[in-house]
Structure 1
Amino acid sequence: MTNKNKLTITLLSSLLIISCQTKVKEKDLALNTSIIQEHSIYEENPYLVEFDKLSPSYILSKANEVEDFYIKNIKKSGYTGSFLVAKNGQIIYEDYSGFANKRNAEQITENTPIHVASVGKVVTAVTIMRLIDMGKLELDQSVSEIIEGFPYPEITVKTLLSHRSGLRYYGYYGEVWSYKTPIKNQDVIDIIKSEKVDLDFSPNTRFSYSNTNYVVLASIVEKVTNKTFREAVRELIFDPLEMKNSFVFDDLDKKNDVTQSYKSNYTPMHWDYMDSTYGDKNIYVTPRDFLKLDTALYSETFLSEKLRKQMFQGYSFENKGVRNYGLGFRLIEMTNGDTFTYHNGWWRGNTSSYIRLEKDNVCIILFSNKYSKLTYKTVDLSHHFGDYPVGNLEL
């Protein structure tokens, strides 16, 4: 987006909120203006993006399509969570259901942060890219130049972001954990430094998805900023974008204060020694907040055009196929030349799906704290907005 364009329309200048309880019809809009409420979700509009304003007729038509899909394919099976679909930074449809804490009868609303599992890797990646934009990091910088004693000079910031480092998933370090004491990010770093666990492969020779990469990235953020990851993400992402209901969770002593996680029958999920690491997970966000981040990624005042392009291109071509991984985003490089961009997540009972259809300025978000694979059905909603794939997408 050029400088001359970015001043035209404020980022997410308005939200159009559609009632999710009944069909929205043209006559309803004429008779009851409260069906669609327009308001700013920013107080000072810190980032500017050009978007065409959607017509009421388009919104009503798409809202009905989205609602039909959502009810028939997801919600009718007892699914609960937070669901939002937006185009041009404007919400077309949203729905909130279920319990943030069933014991206390605390319901999920538009302001309820949910553990978004691996979708949080997008937040971690953007935090790193912001630091690169600020000149505090380099994409091809060796981790050993940042973290003293890191033993693999071939591993760079980019190979971590793109899952090409060769670092084994720390959940498989069975011989070094006690299974009683919670694992912290520094513990993972210390094990890597000790070289007690081998690399799975030589760095940058192939792709292998590993949460360890994003634990290390969070530690890089802390080293560079001299702040906790929680504080750094707040200052670099959440505060600038006014994501007021989002946070990094890094204190197991406060586990009862956050939105709880459940099995499909609402039996509470357990907490254990694997629940203290962050960067790879443990980021709590609402869909409305996440929409602010999605929309900011169209703004060159938030992130430079060069870095945005690097985020949304693939880096792994050892195996033939359309699936790839960018820098914090999964990609499907379609035969028509377009790229389908997304990230899914799962941790305990939390399942998450974030789809970014950049060519059409569409954002699809579904977060749930009650386990269900139906979260990943959102891919089938994409083709309502363009020529996009259908079928299940990998985590």
Structure 2
Amino acid sequence: MVAQYSHGFANVSTKQGNGLKTMYEIDSVQKSLTAGILAQQLNANKVQFTTPLAHFYPRFKPEPQLTVAHALHMTSGLSTKATLPGKTDQAVLAANLRKLTYQPKNFGKFQYTPVNYVLLAGISEKLTHRSYRQLFTRTYIKPLGLKQTRFADALGQTPLAAQGYYAKDYHQKQLTVAKPNWDLIRGELGTGQVFMSVLDLYHAEQALVNGKITGASHDLLYVKKGVYSGGFYVKQPYYQANGTGYGYNGSIAISHNGQNAVLYLSNIQTNNRNQLLTAERKLMVKYGQ
């Protein structure tokens, strides 16, 4: 580790400070980890990048051109208006399949819509007959020895989990406590259900991009052409992912070999996260490539 900085409170009311072991909701950064879980099935030849989504979801039989690769790159033209709540993974998948829309004009074009990764999480479940939570544990938590990683609804009373807050900007002293809607968070299947510490997140992402987890599927998973691939933005000379929601905000920029990275996780959600993204980008350009 070259440098680390912790600031503020994980919990304002108890004066528990933020630190390297503090866990934060990683929100949409989780999509990159979902892509890694699917990579296990790609490496086992249980599915191909060219496999039609209709193979798993009959709802898409009228659109045989939609493939696993289109979902990974978010070029499918599929979208939903909002996160759809659910008490089980099956309920979440069913709700999304009912409500999603296909826009032919957007097919083949990048459009950031989380439902793509909800469907990919469902495909991994269908192929393995295991829950996403079981797959996440088998892929990341156990083999990498992650100690500060939990699903949001399994946090319990651990003081290591930061309380989320809303604020207009990062300098505002008046904070609003974020109160989680567990059904909504469960609805973020594969796209925003996990709490992690900064170091746990780095070790998981490093194992992804250096090929330890993605293996033979690595180069097809992270296509350098385009905008988004495998849960990362790939336009820069490094991979980058962001997450915002439920009172949290975070991001990671990581070199293609996984050696160098700049990460931040915050328990304040604001409308001006570009301040931190700009700082992350400057640090990565100067030190991380």
TM-score of Structure 1 vs Structure 2, range by shorter chain: 0.7 to 0.9
2-side partners of 1:140 and 1:385: how far apart?
37
Please say if 1:383 is aligned against 2:285. yes
Are the structure 2 counterparts of residues 255 and 199 from structure 1 closer, same or farther at C-alpha, using a change threshold of 3 Å?
Answer: farther
Give SS of 1:345's match.
strand
Aligned partner of 1:128 in structure 2 is 38
Cα deviations across residues 178-203 of structure 1 (Å, max 9, x unaligned)? Answer: xxx75764344324544x54313367
Are the structure 2 counterparts of residues 347 and 256 from structure 1 closer, same or farther at C-alpha, using a change threshold of 3 Å?
Answer: farther
Give SS of 2:140's match.
helix
Please say if 1:205 is aligned against 2:108. yes
Paired letter, 2:44: M
Are the structure 2 counterparts of residues 139 and 262 from structure 1 closer, same or farther at C-alpha, using a change threshold of 3 Å?
Answer: same
> Structure 2 unaligned runs (5+)?
168-173
Are the structure 2 counterparts of residues 144 and 247 from structure 1 closer, same or farther at C-alpha, using a change threshold of 3 Å?
Answer: farther
User: Does the 8 Å contact 1:311/1:328 carry over to 2?
Assistant: no
Please say if 1:296 is aligned against 2:200. no
Aligned partner of 1:63 in structure 2 is none
Are the structure 2 counterparts of residues 202 and 127 from structure 1 closer, same or farther at C-alpha, using a change threshold of 3 Å?
Answer: farther
Deviation at 1:113, TM superposition (A): 1.6
Query: Among 293, 303, 308, which residue is 2:218 paired with?
Result: 308
Higher relative CO (CA 8 A, sep ≥ 6), structure 1 or 2?
Answer: 2
Give SS of 1:159's match.
helix
User: Does the 8 Å contact 1:142/1:154 carry over to 2?
Assistant: yes
1-side partners of 2:209 and 2:27: how far apart?
24
User: Does the 8 Å contact 1:313/1:326 carry over to 2?
Assistant: yes
Paired letter, 1:111: K
User: Does the 8 Å contact 2:26/2:196 carry over to 1?
Assistant: yes
2-side partners of 1:215 and 1:234: how far apart?
18
> Structure 1 unaligned runs (5+)?
1-90, 317-323, 334-338, 389-395
Cα deviations across residues 285-304 of structure 1 (Å, max 9, x unaligned)? Answer: 11111221233235444332
Aligned partner of 2:170 in structure 1 is none
Give SS of 2:101's match.
coil
2-side partners of 1:234 and 1:311: how far apart?
21
Paired letter, 1:138: Q
Query: Among 149, 161, 170, which residue is 2:72 paired with?
Result: 161
Deviation at 1:108, TM superposition (A): 2.5
Are the structure 2 counterparts of residues 171 and 107 from structure 1 closer, same or farther at C-alpha, using a change threshold of 3 Å?
Answer: same
Aligned partner of 1:331 in structure 2 is 234
Paired letter, 1:260: Q
Are the structure 2 counterparts of residues 314 and 345 from structure 1 closer, same or farther at C-alpha, using a change threshold of 3 Å?
Answer: same
Aligned partner of 1:39 in structure 2 is none
1-side partners of 2:55 and 2:86: how far apart?
28
Paired letter, 1:121: K
Aligned partner of 1:113 in structure 2 is 23
Coordinate RMSD, CA, aligned = 2.8
Query: Among 149, 155, 164, which residue is 1:246 paired with?
Result: 149
Identity %: 20
Deviation at 1:99, TM superposition (A): 2.8
Query: Among 248, 268, 275, which residue is 2:177 paired with?
Result: 268
Deviation at 1:282, TM superposition (A): 1.4
2-side partners of 1:247 and 1:360: how far apart?
23
User: Does the 8 Å contact 2:205/2:258 carry over to 1?
Assistant: no
User: Does the 8 Å contact 1:368/1:375 carry over to 2?
Assistant: no
Cα deviations across residues 111-145 of structure 1 (Å, max 9, x unaligned)? Answer: 22210111111111111112211333222212222
User: Rg: which structure is higher?
Assistant: 1
Deviation at 1:223, TM superposition (A): 1.6
Give me the TM-score of the superposition, normalised by structure 2. Answer: 0.82
How many residue pairs match? The answer is: 274
Higher helix proportion, which one?
A: 2
2-side partners of 1:154 and 1:121: how far apart?
23
Deviation at 1:263, TM superposition (A): 1.4
Paired letter, 1:116: I
User: Does the 8 Å contact 2:209/2:258 carry over to 1?
Assistant: no
